[in-house]
């Protein structure tokens, strides 16, 4: 491209900005008849030359437009605008505004496709990729899914997965590709499939690995990361999804009972729990729970079985011997190996003597749990359940890290340092979130946890959690297990 053509294109961009200030990037590229990539390059060049082009809600020209570059600045006048538009019109008529490697513009202005209209490309980030499972009904470590449009999609699987893909996925067209599997070139295959249909743009999941995203763009595709992909659909659980979550919750209850049974059988020696002639450890309890879950078709590799004082760290998984006369937090969130849906359940128990301060903490947490549950209903802001929980904890003399609910004094006072709950589905943590800044209302069909807790470093913690569904009448609890501190109440 020669200098005149480049200047003509830059003038065209400036003219479009002046004619319609506040355009978003795509609209500006459309008006200037350049690609978005070229537009970004041109705007950077204009700034380097001293043209005061800024980005706010869209691209706008500031009060001063230096048409001579940095050498001379002056206040932009109406005459400047008219002159610039006249020059731009002239170069448009001459056909000089377009890059030589860009296609001629269509007779009618090009309109951006709605996000949902762009083809969808999914490449799993590994086994358990919830978006891939939701789209295909198929859990696989490596594969490719392309949705061109409604009722027009294809799943491409490697040779070792092709038969399982045809048996388990909900996609009608399932193809095999050995080369993409061997060369790890799923992104290049996706680009080729789209180009064969004359498509140059696509949406991808936020779960997609950066390497795949770069490969798609290197292949010439305009790729948009769809941050809202399946969020609304996955939030509203169907009756079948709700049943799958409830089954996972039942498995969690059985696993918690198994752990508590082992705790209840233990002997107390010198302040520690013993079983079968050896110290009872978190690791042994983990093995028992995992075995029971496996027999039921579930798994939970990251479950929490944490004794004191380490259970003051909410996500400490637990290790080593278990102390008597102190809280043990059991948090089990199993995933079904068949449906891939999750449950989530937490209970706290004490083997031996239950000190009064532990009873008080536990009573406050259970009361906060009930308050949170009573607040939940379709249409209620998600933050309201969190505030209800915090209010109870502070009222009972404890604290939280939520602004306005810190409580009186922090030294030596147990407090809650996390949100009240989260959505549960194909991911154990998904939308919606029950936290202080959650403005959106809860919706009928949401499945959420309510899990208040209190923690004090050097002492331990107490957390109790139920999972259930939001309805227009309130909270349908999927959890039936006792919330008692006493292990004997679970047997």
Residues 6+ apart with CB under 8 A from 372: 385, 386, 388, 389, 420, 421, 434, 450, 452
Res 405: pLDDT: 95
Q: How far apart are alpha carbons 282 and 287 in whole angstroms?
A: 9
Tally of CB atoms within 10 A around 109 = 10
Residue 32: pLDDT band (50, 70, 90) is confident
Res 15: pLDDT: 76
Res 114: pLDDT: 41
Which helix (H) or strand (E) element contains residue 201? strand 201-204
Q: How far apart are alpha carbons 130 and 443 in whole angstroms?
A: 21
Q: How far apart are alpha carbons 187 and 466 in whole angstroms?
A: 41
**pLDDT tens track for 307-322:** 999 999 999 999 999 9
Q: Which fold has domain 235-490?
A: Creatine Amidinohydrolase (3.90.230)
Quick check: 326 pLDDT over 90? yes
Task: Look at 78-87, 126-135, 305-314 and tell me which has the smallest mean pLDDT.
Answer: 78-87
Which helix (H) or strand (E) element contains residue 84? helix 78-94
Per the CB < 8 A criterion, the answer to whether 148 and 167 are in contact is no
**pLDDT tens track for 456-478:** 999 999 999 999 999 999 999 99
Q: In what order do the strands lie in the sheet with 222-225?
A: 174-176, 152-157, 144-149, 120-122, 201-204, 222-225
| Domain chopping of the chain, boundaries | 3-94, 115-229, 235-490
Q: How far apart are alpha carbons 211 and 199 in whole angstroms?
A: 21
Quick check: 74 pLDDT over 80? no
Res 408: pLDDT: 84
Task: Look at 8-22, 168-182, 285-299, 477-491 and tell me which has the smallest mean pLDDT.
Answer: 8-22
Give Cα separations from 142 to 64, 123, 205, 253 (angstroms). 54, 7, 15, 33
Most confident by average pLDDT, 40-54, 100-114, 310-324: 310-324
If you average pLDDT over residues 80-98, what whole number do you get? 53
Res 59: pLDDT: 45
Higher pLDDT, 70 or 203: 203
Quick check: 397 pLDDT over 90? yes
Residue 277: pLDDT band (50, 70, 90) is very high
Higher pLDDT, 305 or 92: 305
Residue 100: pLDDT band (50, 70, 90) is very low
Q: How far apart are alpha carbons 435 and 438 in whole angstroms?
A: 5
Residue 24: how many CA atoms within 13 Å on its side-chain side?
Answer: 3
Res 1: pLDDT: 54
Quick check: 94 pLDDT over 60? no
Res 80: pLDDT: 54
Res 384: pLDDT: 97
- Do the first three CATH levels of 3-94 and 115-229 match, i.e. the same topology? no
Percent of the chain with pLDDT over 70: 81
Res 451: pLDDT: 98
**pLDDT tens track for 137-185:** 999 999 999 999 999 999 999 999 999 999 999 999 999 999 999 999 9
Quick check: 7 pLDDT over 80? no
Q: How far apart are alpha carbons 13 and 30 in whole angstroms?
A: 10
If you average pLDDT over residues 42-61, what whole number do you get? 57
The second-level CATH assignment, the architecture, of 115-229 is 3-Layer(aba) Sandwich (3.40)
Residue 23: pLDDT band (50, 70, 90) is low
Quick check: 37 pLDDT over 80? no
Res 101: pLDDT: 42
Give Cα separations from 384 to 71, 121, 139, 231, 408 (angstroms). 58, 37, 36, 21, 22
Tally of CB atoms within 10 A around 407 = 20
| Residue 272: strand pairing partners | 269, 323
Res 51: pLDDT: 63
Higher pLDDT, 55 or 20: 20
User: What does pLDDT average to over the chain?
Assistant: 87
Per the CB < 8 A criterion, the answer to whether 71 and 91 are in contact is no
Q: What is the CATH number of domain 3-94?
A: 1.10.10.10
């Amino acid at each position: 491209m020669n200098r005149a053509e480049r200047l003509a294109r830059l003038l065209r961009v400036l003219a479009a900005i002046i004619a319609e200030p506040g355009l978003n990037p795509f609209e500006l590229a459309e008006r200037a008849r350049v690609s978005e990539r070229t537009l970004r390059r041109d705007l950077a060049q204009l700034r380097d030359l001293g043209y005061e082009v800024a980005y706010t809600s869209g691209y706008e020209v500031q009060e001063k437009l230096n048409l001579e570059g940095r050498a001379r600045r002056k206040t932009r006048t109406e005459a400047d605008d008219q002159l610039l538009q006249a020059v731009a019109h002239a170069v448009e008529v001459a056909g000089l505004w377009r890059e030589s490697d860009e296609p001629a513009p269509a007779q009618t202005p090009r309109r951006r496709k709605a996000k949902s209209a762009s083809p969808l490309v999914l490449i799993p980030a590994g086994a358990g990729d919830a978006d891939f499972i939701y789209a295909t009904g198929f859990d696989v470590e490596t594969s490719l899914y392309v949705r061109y449009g409604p009722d027009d999609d294809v799943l491409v699987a490697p040779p070792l997965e092709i038969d399982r893909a045809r048996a388990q996925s909900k996609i009608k067209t399932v193809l095999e590709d050995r080369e993409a599997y061997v060369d790890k070139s799923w992104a290049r295959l996706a680009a080729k499939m789209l180009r064969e249909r004359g498509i140059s743009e696509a949406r991808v999941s936020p779960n997609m690995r950066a390497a795949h995203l770069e490969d798609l763009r290197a292949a010439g595709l305009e790729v948009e990361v769809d941050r809202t992909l399946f969020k609304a659909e996955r939030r509203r659980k169907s009756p079948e999804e709700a049943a799958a979550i409830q089954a996972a919750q039942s498995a969690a209850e059985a696993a918690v009972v198994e752990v508590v049974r082992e705790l209840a059988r233990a002997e107390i020696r010198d302040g520690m729990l013993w079983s079968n002639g050896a110290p009872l450890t978190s690791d042994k309890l983990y093995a028992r729970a995992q075995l029971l879950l496996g027999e039921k078709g579930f798994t939970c590799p990251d479950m929490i079985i944490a004794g004191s004082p380490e259970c003051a760290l909410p996500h400490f998984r637990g290790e080593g011997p278990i102390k008597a006369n102190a809280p043990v937090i059991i948090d089990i969130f199993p995933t079904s190996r068949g449906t891939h849906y999750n449950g989530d359940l937490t209970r706290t128990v004490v083997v031996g003597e239950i000190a009064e301060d532990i009873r008080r903490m536990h009573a406050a947490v259970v009361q906060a749990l009930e308050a949170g549950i009573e607040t939940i209903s379709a249409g209620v802001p998600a933050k309201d359940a969190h505030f209800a929980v915090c209010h109870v904890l502070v009222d009972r003399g404890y604290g939280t890290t939520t602004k306005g609910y810190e409580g009186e004094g922090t030294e030596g006072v147990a407090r809650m340092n996390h949100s009240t709950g989260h959505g549960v589905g194909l991911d154990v943590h998904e939308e919606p979130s029950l936290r202080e800044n959650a403005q959106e209302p809860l919706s009928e069909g949401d499945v959420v946890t309510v899990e208040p807790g209190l923690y004090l470093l050097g002492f331990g913690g107490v957390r109790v959690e139920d999972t259930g569904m939001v309805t227009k009448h309130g909270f349908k609890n999927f959890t039936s297990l006792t919330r008692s501190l006493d292990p004997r109440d679970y047997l």
